[in-house]
Structure 1
Amino acid sequence: MSLTDPNRAAPLSITAKLLRMNWALVLLITAIAALGFMMLYSVAGGDAEPWARRQMNRFGVGVILMTIVALIDIRFWKWASPFAYLGALVLLVAVEFVGETGMGAQRWIRLGPLNLQPSEVMKIALVLALARYYAWLERDRISRPLWLVPPLALIGLPAALVLKQPDLGTALMLCLGGGVVMFLAGVSWWYFGTAAALGAGLVWAVMTSRGTEWQVLKDYQYSRIETFLDPSRDPLGAGYHITQSKIAMGSGGLTGRGFMQGTQSRLNFLPEKHTDFIFTTLSEEFGAVGSMSLLALYTLVLIFGFASMVSNRDRYGALVTGGLTATFFFFWAVNMAMVMGLIPIVGVPLPLVSYGGSAMLVLLMAFGLMQSAHIHRR
C-alpha cells in the first residue's frame, strides 16, 4: 500500500502537527494521571515508593510515545495495522509457552527490561485491524453474512487465547471493543440483536442446567455466581473483596474521610488497593464528590474522542478513533461496575489511575493514534 494520496494536502510540518494536536485532551489525560499518582502515594502510606514514582516515570515515557505516534501520519498506521495485529497475536501465543505467571494467571511475557502483558497490546491492535478491514470493504458488503466471518475471526481468536490465560475481563473487553468497531462500520442492528438474544438464552440455559444430567458448569462455579449475587453468604471467603470494597465506598460519604485518611486501605482491608480496587480508595478519601469528579474527567475524554471521530471524514481514522474511545470507556466502566458489585470481579484496571506499566503505556499509545487521526484528518 502506498502512503501517498493525491487527494491529500501537502505534508504538515512538525510544528503545524503539534499545533493541531488536541491539547485539551492531553490536559484531561494528565489530570486523570495526576489523580492516580495521588492515590498511589496515599495507599503507600504517604510514600512515593513503591508505586507513585514508578507510575510517574511510566507516564512521562508514555507521553513521549504518545507524541511520537501522533506525529506519524495516520496512513502509516493504516498500512501497519495487519502487522500490529499479527505481532500481538504472536505474543499472545508466546505467553502460552514462555509467559510468566502472577496471581494465578499466565498473562505476562518478559521482553528485556519490560514485563509486557500482550492482551493489553491486542486491545489496540484489534481495533486497528478491524478499522483497516472495514475501510477496505465496500459498504454494500458490510452486513452480508460472508463478510462477517473475517472480523468475527479477528475478534474470536485473541479472545479465546486470552480466556485461556485465564483473563475473562480482557476477553470480554476484546469482544466489546471489536463489536463497537463493527457497529460503527455499519453492520446491521439485527446481528447485534440476535447476538444479545443468543447470549441471554445461553445464560438461561446455563443457570437452569444446575442439578440436571446436562449441567454446564461445575458446582463451585455456580457457588461463585451465588456469591456475586449475595456476597454476604461468604463474607470471609469469595465475597470478601467486594464486601470490603462496598464498606470503603460507603464510608466515604459525600466528601470523604480526607486525603490519606482512608482506614480500609491503610489498614490493608482492601484487596489490590493499588491496582484493580484503587477506585474504592478514591471514594473513601474523597467521597462522592471525588468519585463524580473522576467520572466527569472520563466523560470529557469520551466527548472529545467521539467529537473527533464525527469530524473525521477519513473512514479508517474515524473508525480507529471511535473504536479506541469505546475501548477507553470499557476500561473504566467495567472497573467501576466491578468494585461497586454490579458485575463479577474480572480484574480490569482503572485507566491512568491503577498501577501498571503495560496498561499505562498501551493506553497512551492509543491516545497517540487518536491524535494522529485528528491531526491528519481531512
Structure 2
Amino acid sequence: MSYLEYRVKTTPTGFRKILYLNWPLALLLTAVASVGFLQLYSVAGGNIGRWAEPQMERFGLGLAVMFIVGMVPVWFWRNISGLAYAISLVLLIAVEMFGTIGMGAQRWIDIGFMQLQPSELMKISLVMFLAAYYDWLPQRKVSHPFWVLIPVLIILVPTFLVIKQPDLGTAILLLTGGGAVMFLAGVHWAYFATVIGAAVGLVWTVFESRGTSWQLLHDYQFRRIDTFLDPSKDPLGAGYHITQSKIALGSGGWTGRGYMQGTQSRLNFLPEKHTDFIFTSLAEEFGFIGGISLLTLYALIILFCIHSAMSNQNRYAALLTLGVAVTFFLFFAVNMSMVMGLAPVVGVPLPLVSYGGSAMLVLMLAFGLVQSAHVHRPR
C-alpha cells in the first residue's frame, strides 16, 4: 500500500474517530492512575491536597491530551517526527545552559506553571523519529553499516546530554528504548551482540576508572552501585533507601498491612515514598496480591499495544506503537527492579503512579500517539 493510499484509507471522520479509539487501553490507563491517586493519598497521611489532587488534575489534562492527539491522523505525527526530535534536542541543550537545579542535578526548565523535564520529551520524540526513519528506509538497507550508524548517532547525542545532567536512569532508558526500536525494525542481531560485548567491556572500564583522574561516573553513582551489590555495608547511609525498601516489601507479606497502615511509609522510614519508592509503599499495604495486581494492569496495557501494532499495516504506526510499549515497559520494569534490589537505584519513577508532572503528561501524549495509530489504521 502506497503512502497516499494509506492516508486516504485511514482517515475516518466525525464521530467514527471516537468509536475507533482503543477504549480498553484508555480504561486500563485510568485504572493504573487511580491506583496512584489512592497511594498518594495514603502516603500523604490522608491529605488529598498534598500529592493526590495535583496528580488527578495532571491526569485529567493528560487524558484530554491523549484523546486530542489520538484524533489527529498518524501521518501528521510521522511528518513532524524530525521536528519533535529537534525541539527536544534544543531543550536538552537549553537545560545544560540555564536549567533549574534540584537534588544535585540540572534537569528541568522553569516554564511558569510547571517544571519541564526535556529528557521526558526526548524519550517519546526519539521513538517517533526512529520509527519515521525506518518507515522511510527501504528494508534491504536496514542492516547496512552506514544506515545503522545514523540511528546510533540519533540515540547517542541525546543520551550524552542526559548523562551530563546527570541522569543515568533516563540515559539508560534512551539507549535501551532506541535500541529496541532498531531491533524491531529488523536490524541484524550481530550488531546487538557486538554492543552487548562492548557494554561488558565498558562496565569493566567504568570500575577500573574509579578513583582515577579519568573517572567515568560520579561518586554518588558509584555509591549506588556499591549499595546495589551490598546494601548492608552502609545501612544508614548509601544503603538506607534500599534497606528500608526491602523491609517494607517483606513486611507486606501476601495481603499487606492494610490501606494506610504501612508503618515504613507512615513513620517516614521509607524515602521518596511518593515518587521512586511508591511501589514499595503499595506492596507494604496490599502485599504480594496488590503488587501482582498492578503488574497485571501494566502487562495488559503492553498486550493491547502489541495487538494494535500487529494488526496495523502501516510500518510507521506499528513501530511507533511498539516503541511506546517498550518505553512504557522499561519504565515500570526498571522501577520495580530498583526498589526490590534487583537493579541499582537510578531514579526512574513508576509510570502513572509516582507523583510528577512531566512524566505523566509526556506518557499520556505517547499513548495519544498509540491511539492515533489505532484510530487511523486500515480497516
**Under TM normalisation by the shorter chain, which class is it?**
over 0.9
Q: CA deviation at 1:348?
A: 0.4
Q: How does 1:141-156 map to 2 (within 5 A)?
A: 141-156=141-156
For 1:244, what is the secondary structure of its paired residue? helix
Task: Name the structure 2 match of 1:36.
Answer: 36
SS at match of 1:8: helix
Shift of 1:214: 8.8
Partner Cα separation in structure 2 for residue 6 and residue 303 of structure 1: 25
Corresponding residue for residue 282 of structure 2: 282
Q: Where does residue 351 of structure 1 map in the other structure?
A: 351
What is the CA distance between 1:14 and its match in structure 2?
A: 2.8
The one-letter code sitting in structure 2 at the alignment partner of 1:127 is: V
Query: Which string of whole-angstrom CA distances, capped at 9 and with x for unpartnered residues, describes residues 201-259 of structure 1?
Result: 22234446668999866887655433321100100010000000000110000000000
Question: 2:292 is matched by which residue type in structure 1?
Answer: M
Cα distance in 2, alignment partners of residues 165 and 309 from structure 1: 34
Match of 1:59 in 2: 59
In structure 1, C-alpha distance between the alignment counterparts of 2:10 and 2:132, rounded to whole Å = 23
Structure-1 residue corresponding to 2:98: 98
Distance 1:279 1:218 in 2: 27
**Structure 1 256/366 Cα, relative in aligned 2: closer, same or farther at 3 Å?**
same
**1:165 to 1:355, Cα distance in 2 relative to 1, 3 A:** same
Give the whole-Å Cα distance in 2 for the aligned partners of 1:203 and 1:41: 40
1:18-33 to 2 correspondences below 5 Å: 18-33=18-33
Change (3 A) 1:215 1:324: closer
Deviation of 1:97 after TM superposition, in Å, equals 1.5
2:192 aligned with 1:203: no
Q: In structure 2, what is the equivalent of residue 191 of structure 1?
A: 191
Q: 1:292 to 1:157 in 2, by over 3 A?
A: same
Once residues 221 and 21 of structure 1 are traced to their aligned partners in structure 2, the CA distance between those partners, rounded to angstroms, is 43
Once the two structures are superposed, the pairs formed by residues 228-377 of structure 1 within 5 Å of their partners are: 228-377=228-377
Partner of 2:47: 47
In 2, the alpha carbon distance for the partners of 1:109 and 1:157 equals 19
Q: Distance in 1 between matches of 2:70 and 2:21?
A: 8
Counterparts in 2 of 1:287 and 1:112: CA distance versus 1, 3 Å:
same
Measured after TM superposition, the shift of residue 112 of structure 1 is 3.1
Q: Is residue 181 of structure 1 aligned with residue 181 of structure 2?
A: yes
CA distance in 2, matches of 1:102, 1:214: 26
Residues 200 and 38 (structure 1), Cα distance of their counterparts in 2 relative to 1, 3 Å cut: same
Give the C-alpha shift of residue 6 in structure 1.
Answer: 6.8
What SS class does the counterpart of residue 147 from structure 1 fall into? helix
Q: CA RMSD in A?
A: 2.0
Offset from partner CA, 1:253-289 (integer Å, 9 cap, x none): 0000000000100111111100010000000000000
Per-residue deviation, residues 84-141 of structure 1 (Å, max 9, x unmatched): 0001111111001221111111111012323110000000000000011100001111
* 1:191–1:268 distance in 2 versus 1, CA, 3 Å: same
Alignment gaps of 5+ in structure 2 = none
Q: What is the aligned residue count? A: 377
Structure 1 unaligned residues grouped into runs of 5+: none
Which has the larger displacement, 202-211 or 351-360?
202-211
1:252–1:284 Cα contact (<8 Å) kept: yes
RCO comparison, higher one (Cα < 8 Å, 6+): 2
Instruction: Give the letter for the 1:253 counterpart.
Output: G
Larger deviation: 2-11 or 87-96? 2-11
* 8 A Cα contact 1:14 1:71, kept in partner: no
- Shift of the 95–6 alpha-carbon distance from structure 1 to 2, 3 Å rule, reads closer
Could you tell me how far apart the structure 2 residues matched to 1:34 and 1:219 are? Answer: 38
Q: Secondary structure at the match of 1:140?
A: helix
Is the CA contact 2:10–2:377 (under 8 Å) kept in the aligned structure 1?
no
Identity of aligned residues (%): 61
What are the Cα deviations for residues 286-334 of structure 1, in whole angstroms up to 9, with x where unaligned? 0000000000000000100111111111000001000000000000000
1:146 alignment partner, SS class: helix
In structure 2, what is the equivalent of residue 13 of structure 1?
13
Mark the CA change 1:185 to 1:288 in structure 2 (over 3 Å): closer, same or farther: same
Question: What's the counterpart of residue 85 of structure 2?
Answer: 85
Q: Distance in 2 between matches of 1:220 and 1:16?
A: 53
- For the residue of structure 2 that corresponds to 1:48, the secondary structure is coil
CA distance in 2, matches of 1:228, 1:322: 31
Contact 2:223/2:238 (8 A) holds in 1: no
Q: Say which SS state the counterpart of residue 283 (structure 2) adopts.
A: helix
TM-score, normalized by length of structure 1?
0.95
Q: Is the CA contact 1:3–1:76 (under 8 Å) kept in the aligned structure 2?
A: no
Supply the AA of the counterpart residue of 1:176: T
**Matched residue type, 1:128:** M
